[in-house]
Structure 1
């Protein structure tokens, strides 16, 4: 996936806010729909899923409930969604990690999100932030931190083994030529708690869950993982600005259903998701530090497959494993 293609997906809201197409015929839900979120409550996945669930429920005239199925870097929830009846009543909240990393990390699981799911549409993108803990780390910029990491052993936390948080750090360490001990947690909330308790020296987590602690001074932000600075943290440089040329790892979110879901059901759910793309929803996403994405639903499977291929290459090169 090229940088131009990904940025084009984020450009403007003209099409994003356009009136939805005529209502798809042939399927209307008659009972509650669940969205499986593969991480615990409180993290960015859970936050974004709940933002989307509210207008989706209004559009479908049925309750849309969030079911948190955490574990194995999101693989447990992905398996549950893949094995659910393909009737439109179970939706997977997809992430970069589930589609781009887990097929490598959990190769024997029997689940490959690109192969096994049909995308209903992309929702948005967020940056991860490299945050260090004042008192445990002295460095105030990326190059200083790299030098410090080369002088003494450090411990980093992630939101789970094989997660985009883990991979962001693995790529960083490889490019910087440093090593650190990895402590995986079960989602963003446990990682943030560990950072606040000063159990680890540093970690990568999204702007959605890191910004408040950075602004308070509890975390010291050294860099963001995208090629442009995060609007919520305009003073924090990118990894590339910090000296790591070519570093670009934005985190995206989508909704998906099992591949065998009937076409009329997919069409109706895609239409409903498109109808949630209002200015109000965009504003709520931005409040959660997520930039809305504008990729037509019919093109989202190809977009995701290209992005996943890139992430899988990175995962292989970083030698990410489930152990």
Structure 2
């Protein structure tokens, strides 16, 4: 009897432990962000984390690890335990542009992570100073075609707004001089000061300047018009056929996340797509909800990597 009772107790304990071990999440989740607090990526991540935590019934805590264009955060997560309690909120340039222009990023965008899903997308918008004689994309490309030394600014070499302008130059067969800065804010300052002719900027960031009347938007880079700027044409509508480029945010985990964890996070991610409060808050920040399954995220990374590698090769941009 004693042996039978002991076996029953052991079986009960094992069952109870197994049940507990399979319950995910059972404690707070850390969502790592590769940029500083208060920036556009951080704002989007915190909006996402707050609603995700409500769905999972566990706090999702944003952990800012800025540096190396998101590389510090990315490398930290690739080496985290694959238990689902450390995730990363990434921007598309981290996954599809930085690896094109930097030799030693330390991670493979496809192989070093477990994809969870896309979260939202955003357009860039082509901007000129409010008093600029350039009033359309056609005006801009005509000026460039004449060899008049058209200049544009970007946040850095390989940044989203750098590649947007390089793609425009390649598609129109024109030459435009790139002036890289340490962040888009510095480029905007020089745009307003007349030191550069144009720049691209994220719609969410640019809306304030547009509404304030200091810059003029010529076109958005997405395939459809931005709800934040409904009167601004797309690049295709402005005459650049087949020009379509959208940035995006996404969530990934360390490599080898268990399938049960991935499934739980995927269900929660998709649930946010049906959350009206989340949609409203993310649109207010200038982004469009785009909540997907892991396979769609992998497809976006693979497709965009191929696009920007081609653009970089044609422009003679080599990894440094």
1:296 to 293, 297, 300: 293
1:185–1:274 CA distance, 2 compared to 1 (3 A): same
Q: Distance in 2 between matches of 1:307 and 1:227?
A: 15
Query: What's the counterpart of residue 237 of structure 1?
Result: 233
Query: What's the counterpart of residue 78 of structure 2?
Result: 82
Unmatched tracts of structure 2, length 5 or more: 1-20
1:138–1:43 CA distance, 2 compared to 1 (3 A): farther
Residues 153-168 of structure 1 mapped to structure 2, 5 A cutoff: 153-168=149-164
Deviation at 1:303, TM superposition (A): 4.7
Query: What's the counterpart of residue 129 of structure 1?
Result: 125
Matched-pair contact (CA < 8 Å) for 1:126–1:291: yes
Q: Distance in 2 between matches of 1:127 and 1:269?
A: 26
Q: Distance in 2 between matches of 1:242 and 1:159?
A: 24
Query: What's the counterpart of residue 59 of structure 1?
Result: 55
Unmatched tracts of structure 1, length 5 or more: 1-24
Q: Does 1:148 align with 2:143?
A: yes
Q: Distance in 2 between matches of 1:305 and 1:27?
A: 33
Query: What's the counterpart of residue 11 of structure 1?
Result: none
Matched-pair contact (CA < 8 Å) for 2:86–2:253: yes
Q: Does 1:185 align with 2:182?
A: yes
**2:22 aligns to what SS in structure 1?**
coil
1:27–1:103 CA distance, 2 compared to 1 (3 A): farther
- Say which structure, 1 or 2, has more relative contact order (CA 8 Å, 6+ apart): 1
Deviation at 1:294, TM superposition (A): 4.7
**1:116 aligns to what SS in structure 2?**
coil
1:43–1:178 CA distance, 2 compared to 1 (3 A): farther
Q: Distance in 1 between matches of 2:194 and 2:35?
A: 22
Deviations 1:160-209 (A, max 9, x none): 331222211111122231221322324x5555555456664422111111
Q: Distance in 2 between matches of 1:251 and 1:29?
A: 30
Deviation at 1:76, TM superposition (A): 3.0
**1:108 aligns to what SS in structure 2?**
coil
Aligned pair count? Answer: 298
1:279 to 257, 276, 281: 276
Matched-pair contact (CA < 8 Å) for 2:143–2:150: no
Query: What's the counterpart of residue 3 of structure 2?
Result: none
Matched-pair contact (CA < 8 Å) for 1:221–1:236: yes
What CA RMSD, in Å, does the superposition of the two structures yield over aligned residues?
2.7
Larger Rg: 2
Query: What's the counterpart of residue 206 of structure 1?
Result: 202
Deviations 1:24-62 (A, max 9, x none): x81423443222222334443222211101011222333
Residues 209-220 of structure 1 mapped to structure 2, 5 A cutoff: 209-220=205-216
**2:97 aligns to what SS in structure 1?**
helix
| TM superposition score normalised by structure 1 | 0.81
Query: What's the counterpart of residue 18 of structure 2?
Result: none
Q: Does 1:40 align with 2:22?
A: no
